[in-house]
A and B are shown apart, each in its own frame.
Chain A
Amino acid sequence: MGGILVFGEIGQNGLQSITSELLAAARGLSAGSGDEVTVALLGSGADAASQDAIARGADKVYSVQDPLLEDPQADAQLGAFEAVCIEVKPSVALFGRTPVGRDLGPRLAFRHGVGVAQDCIEMTTDSATGRVVATRPVYGGNALAKVTFPGDGMQVLVVRPKAVEPLGADSSRTGEVVTFNPGLDPSIVRARLVQTVRQESEGVRLEDAVVVVGGGRGIGGAEAFEMLHELARILGGAVGASRAVCDAGWIDHSYQVGLTGKTITPDIYITVGISGASQHMAGCAASKNIVAINRDADANIFKAASFGVVGDWKNVMPSFIETVRELVNS
């Protein structure tokens, strides 16, 4: 038994960023052990993405082909990955905490009666035991836990997106591509995806925005978001919101930033009336600079902010927006 097996994800533009991140994490873990890094790529996009996966750190690519994989069904993807696991017998299986990976990682672990660490942000190898030690935020990000895997079974890790920096593509790297047919039985697909509905957001995508303007419970109602949209427009940014505000119906859930919403990584995150509960901070902690406008000087947001104003947003924001507009236009 040995090696690290990555669950690869392919999008319209080839290898997904999360897969490059997992390959970088796998290379980090294999640096000490010398373990081989294998990635499983499923379905028709696999062959086209294989060389990219090798350039990003894979030693071996399993191009998994089966008629059932033409449709993105989670149950079929799990069956396919499980078949690769039986072939490769990895000591470590890595998934991204994506809509697919977050479910398949735990399901694989439970099927094999082994442990799984969810939402990992850092992974190292214990030199004494050779087992992986993973760091993961718990209690909504209030604390960090280090966890490890007793025994000698497979270790399954689900890694938080953007937690690991991907390696630059090195086209001189070489690796092996293996075409693999898992021979899936159609009866394994029991929960069937029948439709995907995408809500197109206007302007800049929140996850990609360099500037984000966020509103929380402190702004008092749906109307105040117009002002936040205006500031975002001036700065070419996007608007975000805390979960409480989305649950209250002031703005759609697609604006939610946090542990269970979107993860943002802007250069500047301007928060208005956001208290900075750890569940929210979990989605914006990677912002390069946080600016806080809040009435409560003791609010948690000021602990994470670089710049802040303690005051009522109704008094602070009009002059702030006006000055920003003048500066940006000058």
Chain B
Amino acid sequence: MGIKIVVCVKQVMDPETPASAFKVDSDTNKVIPAQGIPPVVNGFDENAVEAALRLKDSTEVDKITVISVGNNFVMDVMKKPLSMGADELILVQDESVSELDAFATATTLAKAIEKVGEYDLILCGRQASDWDQAHVPLGLAELLGLPSITLAQKVDVADGMISIQRSLTDGYEVVESQLPAVITVSNELGEPRYPNLRGIMQASRKTPTIWSAADLGLDAESLSPRLTLTELFIPVSDKRVEIIEGEDEADAGRKLALRLREEKLI
């Protein structure tokens, strides 16, 4: 018997969107999606999918189920984990799931994972590149009563135990736990694999399972926010850069050094 893995992913605005195309509607406190730039699967969540696939490559994994909670899913985007090699995709699609509040998202994911039933390991990205909170996985662990380990750069599973290298800014920790557990994955794990043609063909033939909040027995009360957004704005900078010019680029380099000396910066 192999293990069953659930990977939680989120559809986000492409974080490579240039700053000039990043706009906020101050009346609704919402980010205006940039024209012509499709959303992506959150980068760290792709690292989590990659971690699951590496376990599948090296140990016995029965099934990798990908779950996402949100609204306005772009199906081609959300199928990427399937084309990378995951087995199944479940989308909890409902307007009632607030984008900001991590509490409601974690509650919804917990219900969805309980409905899935059998699982040994839950993998999530370390944080989402939109709200950068890193709350949902920890909330999920608390709601499901599971141990949690964050910031994994390496994941090993053996004999019902999981061993994680937890990334620190100046090294790493080795943390162990019994399964089932919730693990968040960081980019130090390494680049997620590119889907190959066979994977893309297989993914195109799979139909995601769609659940609503009501399917999970969730009502407005259980999804009431614990944190509310009062203002969203783009910070203004009054900074003016002094561009150093020269006869050519080498001369500009020399003048830059002299200018920095003048300012006593070097």
Binding site for B on A (CB under 8 A): 75, 99, 102-103, 106-107, 109-111, 113-119, 133, 137-140, 142-151, 153, 190-199, 201, 207, 211, 235, 243, 247, 253-254, 256, 259-262, 267-268, 277-279, 289, 291-293, 298, 300, 302-312, 315-320, 322-324, 327-328
A309 near B150 with CB under 8 A, answer no
How far does the Cβ of B202 sit from chain A's closest Cβ, in whole Å?
27
Residues of B within 8 A of A153 (CB): 226
Name A's interface SS. Answer: mixed
Which residues B4-38 have CB closer than 8 A to chain A? Answer: 13, 15-16, 18-20, 22, 24, 31
CB <8 Å contact, B233 and A117? no
Contact B175 A192 (CB under 8 A): yes
Q: How far apart sit A259 and B171, CA to CA, in the bound complex (Å)? A: 17
Q: How far is the CA of A292 from the CA of B228 in the complex (A)?
A: 38
A326 CB → nearest B CB, Å: 8
Q: Which residues of B contact A302 (CB under 8 A)?
A: 241, 243
Quick check: B251 and A319 within 8 Å, CB to CB?
Answer: yes
Tell me, in angstroms, the Cα distance from A194 to B175 when the chains sit together.
Answer: 6
Nearest CB to that of A139 among chain B residues?
Answer: B130
Q: How many cross-chain pairs have Cβ atoms below 8 Å apart between A and B?
A: 253
Looking at chain B's contact residues, is the secondary structure mostly helix, strand, loop, or mixed?
Answer: mixed
**Chain B, range 169-217, C-beta contacts under 8 Å to A:** 169-178, 181, 186-188, 191
**Least CB separation from A119: chain B residue:** B132
Give the complex CA separation of A116 and B226 in angstroms: 8
B58 contacts A by Cβ under 8 Å:
no
Q: Is the CB of B257 within 8 A of A320?
A: yes
**Among the listed stretches B64-72, B73-81, B86-94, B135-143, which one makes contact with chain A, having 4 or more residues with CB under 8 Å of it?**
B135-143
User: Residues of B contacting A253 with CB < 8 Å?
Assistant: 153, 167, 188
In the complex the two chains form, is A142's CB within 8 Å of B19's CB? yes
Instruction: Provide a sorted-by-A list of 9 A–B residue pairs whose CB atoms are within 8 angstroms.
Output: A106-B139, A107-B142, A109-B135, A115-B226, A191-B177, A195-B174, A254-B170, A256-B169, A308-B244
Q: In the bound complex, how far is the Cα of B170 from the Cα of A197, in angstroms?
A: 8
